[in-house]
Amino acid sequence: MRTEPSKTDSAMELTPTGTEVRTPRVDAVVAFVKLAAKSIPITTFLDEAPRGIARALRADICSLYVLEGEETLVMRGNVGFKKDALGEVRLLVGEGITGQAVQSGQAIRVDHATTHAAYKHVTGLGEEDFPIFLVAPIFGKVGPIGAITVQRGKRPFSDADAELLVAFGASIAAGIKYAASKDSAQEGEPSEKRATRRAGGGTRRVTLPGRPIVAGRALGAIAALRRPAQRASGRLSLDPKGDSAIEKRVLKAAFETAAKSIVALRARAEKLALVKDALFLDTYGVILEDMRFRERAFELIDGGAPIASALSQVAREVTRAAASLTKDAFIDERAQDIEDLCDALTMLAATDKRAELPSKSILIGDNLAVFDLLISARAQPVAVILSERAKGNRTRTLLRLLGAPSIIEVRGLFGWANDGDIALIDADHGLVTINPSKREIAHVREFRKGDAKPDPANS
């Protein structure tokens, strides 16, 4: 009579054909291989792969770097560091221990990172508490596509650990399927095909990487950021006789609304500890309180100019005056602020239908301005995506004040995205998917549903 072994007596189970190995490490490896073999959204893989590798190697930290372009390694997956490291930590090939492993094509093991010639400290990451490194490059069909870095606070990695991490790299290359999306996004379609794509009619799926600013995930239709027409035609139809007194009252109300909005933005900046970064809001407050600015606009309206034309004229006069006085960057910036504010006042006083945005959209553009916090935000956008032209501290601050999930520095954005296209934004990892699959849409909806559930600890 055959006696079944007790699972509590041994980590190995006897089977009719041999011994079944059930150690914690083997179980972790099997779980990871199963994960890599699944067809799952890239965002899920970027979360679960580092978690599985850290478990198998008993590492405190595991980071997954993806090669974007020819030289930049971007941390897209991680367990152990703060979430805001994703998309922000970047290394050139050859830079740091991770970059050197990719450059050499060999795994690198270091018992104390700071003693290694290639070590590069990343401020604010906290990696100094985990100085024991093991890095393995990830290879695709035509060369390296990234790297895996694991770290410990104690106990050096072994040769067996290094062998296992290299093997994990092969599974990641197969499971992530990132190289194909990245290459297609960077190479793009032939120009003649791109030219014939219709708004809302895109069908080709593509994933574009960027730099996340405000974390979160969103799904929606794309709408390009807009501005009112520079030269408004016709008079604001508030009075059949075109009474300038009525138009001046409307413009005065627009000034008051804008002033209240700036005060509210300042309060939000204080709440988010962004007061220093949002000092530029003071400029807008000063402009709105400048009676000469208002009086010049009212004077032009008295002379027969519609509101939009009057404000546009004031903005041009300020710009010309600034250019004649000096080429100082601060003066130029102030002139741009006035143009931006005039656009906002125009929309508050005499809405331009062509500049209105559909509600609950994902906004795309080259940059964000205070205009968008005063006007575009009224459409309650679910997310913002900005191209590679969007840089600078002000852009980041405005996005944080807006508060919607946002990604900047998305190369090739306008080559792939048109008004009406459906987009999925993952600002946790810094990825934008244009025309996502039904499975990806279902996944983000499920993720957001779970994210919205109350925390039992706070109940």
Q: Give tens-digit pLDDT for 382-408.
A: 999 999 998 789 999 999 999 999 999
Tokens 């997310």, residue located: 383
When pLDDT is averaged across residues 321-335 and rounded to a whole number, the result is 65
CA 408 – CA 223 distance, rounded (Å): 16
Q: Which ranges of 158-243 would DSSP assign to H, the alpha helix?
A: 159-176, 178-187, 191-195
pTM: 0.81
Bridging pattern class, strands 132-139 and 217-224: unpaired
What ranges make up the beta strands (E) of 85-154?
90-92, 108-110, 132-139, 144-152
Spatial contact of 247 and 236, defined as CB atoms under 8 Å apart: yes
Residues 6 or more apart in contact with residue 368 via CB below 8 angstroms? 225, 384, 386, 390, 395, 398, 399, 402
pLDDT at 3 over 70: no
Torsion angle, CA of 215/217/218/219, rounded to 10 degrees? 150
Q: Which ranges of 221-368 would DSSP assign to H, the alpha helix?
A: 244-271, 280-289, 291-302, 307-325, 329-349
CA 216 – CA 405 distance, rounded (Å): 5
Residue 278 pLDDT class (50, 70, 90 cuts): very high
What mean pLDDT is reported for the chain? Answer: 83
pLDDT at 49 over 70: yes
When pLDDT is averaged across residues 302-315 and rounded to a whole number, the result is 86
pLDDT at 190 over 80: no
Q: What is the pLDDT of residue 331?
A: 65
CA-nearest of 277, 286, 265 to 370 is 265
Crossing angle of the two packed helices 280-289 and 329-349, in degrees rounded to 10: 60
CA 74 – CA 96 distance, rounded (Å): 13
Q: Give tens-digit pLDDT for 332-384.
A: 677 778 888 988 998 898 777 777 899 999 999 999 999 999 999 999 999 99
CA-nearest of 345, 348, 255, 248 to 302 is 248
DSSP annotation of 113: G
Residue 5 pLDDT class (50, 70, 90 cuts): very low
pLDDT at 248 over 80: yes
Kindly list the structural domains of the chain, giving each domain's residue range(s) and its CATH number in brackets, ordered by start.
12-183 (3.30.450.40), 190-226+357-458 (3.50.30.10), 244-354 (1.10.274)
DSSP annotation of 152: E
